[in-house]
């Protein structure tokens, strides 16, 4: 099991103490009520909840906890989602003990850490996305913010509450965005928000 391999690696780092392990988000939230580690190694793919959602939930109650996301997925979109959910680090499960040690050291100093296997690609993609966004259909500041919230699966009512505007105004902005971009479904809006670097 992955968890056993990690425990074996962590046991070789003398300054690290493993407080507990668990296999799902529900158990994690229960355990955190009794004991909070300095750093939480969080698998993104759990059987009962996605890592992005769980990261937000954990940090809502334990904002000082530093989360290091662990995954087999090298999808850059997922990396950005986890970082925006509050995770400080992102590490692939095929990592070696030296990289694991570096990641934990960085998070212990409240610094961000991205797996070196991903870092260069993320920088290049960020540059490319910025170039693309400069030639796109322009959105107003309000429209860009609403596009971001739509991509985060917020309803019109939730958007109006977040931005302190009426539901009618929020819906009007939404309609303007759809008309400007020629996109007719939420999946398309999410892709557009990602391309513009909003999520």
Residue positions counted in the chain:
199
The confidence score (pLDDT) of residue 126 equals 59
Q: Range with the lowest mean pLDDT among 9-13, 28-32, 62-66? A: 9-13
Asked whether residue 122 falls in the same domain as residue 46, the answer is: yes
Give the CATH number for residue 76. 3.40.50.2300
The confidence score (pLDDT) of residue 89 equals 93
CA 178/CA 92 separation, integer angstroms = 36
Q: What are phi and psi of 135, to 5 degrees?
A: -105, 5
Q: 78-124 pLDDT, tens per residue?
A: 888 898 899 999 999 888 889 999 999 999 999 999 888 887 666 66
The confidence score (pLDDT) of residue 125 equals 64
Q: Flag whether pLDDT at 52 surpasses 80.
A: yes
Asked whether residue 114 falls in the same domain as residue 141, the answer is: no
Asked whether residue 54 falls in the same domain as residue 114, the answer is: yes
Give the number of domains in the chain: 2
Asked whether residue 46 falls in the same domain as residue 115, the answer is: yes
Q: Which pTM value belongs to this model?
A: 0.62
The confidence score (pLDDT) of residue 1 equals 43
- Cross-strand pairs, 69: 42, 90
CA 17/CA 62 separation, integer angstroms = 19
Q: Look up residue 197 and give its two tokens.
A: 């670097």
Quick check: 23 and 3 in contact, CB under 8 A? Answer: yes
- The average pLDDT across 35-51 equals 92
Domain containing 167 equals 136-195
Reported as a pLDDT band with limits 50, 70 and 90, residue 154 is: confident
The DSSP code sequence of 43-66 is ESB-SSSBHHHHHHHHHHH-TT-E
- Please state, rounded to an integer, the average pLDDT across all residues of the chain: 83
Asked whether residue 123 falls in the same domain as residue 153, the answer is: no
What CA–CA distances, in Å, run from 25 to 29, 48, 78, 106, 144?
6, 6, 18, 25, 32
Q: Flag whether pLDDT at 53 surpasses 90.
A: yes
The confidence score (pLDDT) of residue 65 equals 96
Q: Flag whether pLDDT at 152 surpasses 60.
A: yes
Q: 173-190 pLDDT, tens per residue?
A: 888 888 877 776 777 777
**Cα torsion angle, 55, 56, 62, 67, sign:** positive
The confidence score (pLDDT) of residue 124 equals 60
């Amino acid at each position: 099991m992955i968890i056993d391999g990690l425990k074996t690696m962590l046991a070789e780092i003398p300054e690290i103490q493993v407080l507990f392990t668990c296999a799902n988000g529900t158990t994690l939230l229960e355990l955190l009520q009794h004991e909070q580690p300095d750093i939480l190694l969080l698998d993104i793919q759990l059987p009962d909840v996605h890592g992005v959602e769980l990261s937000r939930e954990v940090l809502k109650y334990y904002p000082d906890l530093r989360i290091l996301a662990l995954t087999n997925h090298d999808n850059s979109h997922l990396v950005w989602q986890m970082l925006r959910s509050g995770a400080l680090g992102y590490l692939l499960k095929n990592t070696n003990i030296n990289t694991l040690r570096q990641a934990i050291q960085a998070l212990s100093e409240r610094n961000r850490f991205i797996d070196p296997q991903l870092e260069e690609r993320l920088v290049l993609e960020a540059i490319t996305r910025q170039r693309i966004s400069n030639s796109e259909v322009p959105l107003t500041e309000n429209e860009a913010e609403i596009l971001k919230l739509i991509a985060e699966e917020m309803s019109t009512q939730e958007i109006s509450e977040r931005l302190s505007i009426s539901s009618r105004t929020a819906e009007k902005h939404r309609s303007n965005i759809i008309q400007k971009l020629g996109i007719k479904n939420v999946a398309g809006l999410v892709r557009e928000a990602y391309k513009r670097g909003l999520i």
